[in-house]
Amino acid sequence: MEIVRSIAGVRAWRRGAGAGSLGFVPTMGALHAGHASLLRAARAGNDRVAASIFVNPTQFGPGEDFSRYPRTFAADCALLAAEGVALLFAPEPAEMYPAGFSTAIDVGPVGARLDGASRPGHFTGVATVVAKLFSITGPERAYFGQKDAAQVAVLRQMVRDLSLPVELQICPIVREPDGLALSSRNRYLSPAERVEALVLSRALLAAEDLARHGARDAAMLLETARAVLGEEPALRLDYLALVEPDTLEPVAFLEPGRPALLAVAGWIGVTRLIDNTLLSPV
Ligand code: PAF
C-alpha cells in the first residue's frame, strides 16, 4: 500500500495506475469492522481501492471532540493493507486547507436536519471535504456507512446537485453481537457506559418490532422507542425522529414501499452516539 501525503502525489498515483475503476473509502481513521465492510465492498466492486484518513477539523464544532478524536494511524494502516487498499491518502490539515482557503459547500435544508440541527456547520464541513476528496482521488464509486444516515442524505444531495461523476454506495450498519452499532467513538465509552449505550439499538428494535406487527403511525412508533430510551437514565437524548431518508423531513405514517428512517442520537456521558434503522413496511 502506498501512503501519500500530498494532493499532487495522489494525482501522480492515479495517472500511473492506468485504466480500471477506483473505489474510494474516505475515513477519519480509528478504523473498525464497519470500515472494513466498506473496504470489502469497494474491493468487490472495483479494480483498485483508495482510502483516506483525515480528521477533518471543519466538521467539528467548538467544544466537540476534534482534539481528542482517536488517532490510531499504525493500526489503521495495517487494516487497510490487509484489506487490499492500494493507496492511502493521509494529508495534514495544511494540505487540505492551505492559507486563504475559503470555499464551503452548503447543501441547503437537508444539511440542517437531524445531526445538522444539533451540530451547526457540521455538514458544510463534511460536504466540502468530501467534494475535495472526490476531486483529488477521482473515484468511480465511493463507499459510506448507513450508520451516518444524515451524512448519506447530505452527500446524495451534493452529488445530485453538483452532477459529481461518482456513484455513492451505502453499506449496512455493522453491529456488535449485543446490538451496539460500531463507531470510532465507542472507544470513549467506559465498560459501564458501553452497556448503557445499548439502549439506542434496543429502542430502534422495539419500534422495528411494532412496525413488523403492522403499526404505521409515526407517533406510536416514536412513543414506543422513546419509552425504551426513557428507561436509561444515563442517556441524554439529542433527537429521535422518523424521517424520509433522502430529505430527512418528518414522516407521519409508514407507507408500503416507502422506507422511513428511524434515527436517534444522544449522549452517554460526554460521548455523542448515533444509530438508526430503516423501517420498510410491505
Ligand atoms: O464519515 C466520516 O468518517 C467523515 O464524515 C468523512 C466522510 C470521512 C468526512 O470527513
Q: Could you tell me the CATH number of the domain that includes residue 257?
A: 3.30.1300.10
| Same-domain status, 76 and 194 | no
The answer, yes or no, to whether any atom of ligand 1 lies below 6 A from the CB of 83, is no
| Same-domain status, 243 and 156 | no
In a domain, 231, yes or no: yes
Average pLDDT of the segment spanning 252-258: 96
Last residue of a domain, one of 171, 197, 231: 171
**Paired residues of 113 in beta bridges:** none
Evaluate if residue 192 carries a pLDDT over 90: yes
Average pLDDT of the segment spanning 197-215: 98
Last residue of a domain, one of 114, 136, 171: 171
| Ligand 1 centre distance from Cα of residue 56 (Å) | 8
Evaluate if residue 36 carries a pLDDT over 90: yes
In a domain, 179, yes or no: no
Strand, coil or helix: 274: strand
Whole-number pLDDT of residue 216: 97
Average pLDDT of the segment spanning 48-58: 98
Percent of the chain with pLDDT over 90: 99
Domain count along the chain: 2
Q: Tell which residue, 27, 48, 16, has the closest CA to residue 133.
A: 27
| Same-domain status, 123 and 189 | no
Per-residue CA distances from 263 to 12, 140, 192, 199, 251 (Å)? 41, 29, 23, 13, 12
| Same-domain status, 238 and 101 | no
The answer, yes or no, to whether any atom of ligand 1 lies below 6 A from the CB of 145, is no
DSSP calls for 125-183: HHHHHHHHHHHHH--SEEEEETTSHHHHHHHHHHHHHTT-S-EEEEEPPPB-TTSPBP-
Distance CA 201, CA 225 (A): 10
Within 10 Å of residue 135's Cβ, how many Cβ atoms? Answer: 11
Whole-number pLDDT of residue 18: 86
Ligand 1 atom closest to the Cα of residue 59 is 10
| Ligand 1 centre distance from Cα of residue 54 (Å) | 8
Distance CA 161, CA 204 (A): 32
The answer, yes or no, to whether any atom of ligand 1 lies below 6 A from the CB of 56, is yes
The answer, yes or no, to whether any atom of ligand 1 lies below 6 A from the CB of 277, is no
Q: Categorize the per-residue pLDDT at 27 as very low, low, confident or very high, splitting at 50, 70 and 90.
A: very high
| Same-domain status, 75 and 162 | yes
Whole-number pLDDT of residue 174: 98
| Ligand 1 centre distance from Cα of residue 256 (Å) | 32
The answer, yes or no, to whether any atom of ligand 1 lies below 6 A from the CB of 152, is no
| Same-domain status, 151 and 229 | no
Say which residue the cell 451524512 belongs to.
Answer: 151
Distance CA 92, CA 97 (A): 9
Q: CATH number of the domain at 6, please.
A: 3.40.50.620
Containing 192, the helix (H) or strand (E) segment is helix 191-196
The answer, yes or no, to whether any atom of ligand 1 lies below 6 A from the CB of 59, is yes
Q: Which of 56, 115, 135, 156 to mutate to test the pocket of ligand 1 (most atoms within 8 A of CB)?
A: 56
| Same-domain status, 166 and 29 | yes
Q: What is the domain extent for residue 201?
A: 184-275
| Same-domain status, 114 and 212 | no
- Nearest-CA residue for ligand 1 atom 8 is 27
In a domain, 201, yes or no: yes
Average pLDDT of the segment spanning 130-141: 98
Percent of the chain with pLDDT over 70: 100
Higher-scoring residue by pLDDT: 152, 19: 152
Q: Tell which residue, 207, 246, 248, has the closest CA to residue 226.
A: 207
| Same-domain status, 81 and 9 | yes
Whole-number pLDDT of residue 176: 98
In a domain, 50, yes or no: yes
Whole-number pLDDT of residue 282: 80
In a domain, 15, yes or no: yes
The answer, yes or no, to whether any atom of ligand 1 lies below 6 A from the CB of 221, is no
Question: How big is the chain, counted in residues?
Answer: 282
Last residue of a domain, one of 171, 205, 234: 171
- Nearest-CA residue for ligand 1 atom 5 is 126
Active site residue 213: no
Q: What is the mean pLDDT of the chain?
A: 98
| Same-domain status, 134 and 68 | yes
| Same-domain status, 33 and 125 | yes
Q: Categorize the per-residue pLDDT at 8 as very low, low, confident or very high, splitting at 50, 70 and 90.
A: very high
Per-residue CA distances from 39 to 51, 182, 186, 237 (Å)? 8, 15, 20, 32
| Same-domain status, 124 and 163 | yes
Distance CA 21, CA 273 (A): 34
b/e 43-69 (16+ beta carbons within 10 angstroms → b)? beebebbbbbbbbbebbbeeeeeeeeb
Q: Which of 35, 151, 186 to mutate to test the pocket of ligand 1 (most atoms within 8 A of CB)?
A: 151
Per-residue CA distances from 279 to 129, 200, 211, 262 (Å)? 30, 16, 7, 7
Whole-number pLDDT of residue 260: 98
Name the grid cell of 258.
Answer: 416507502
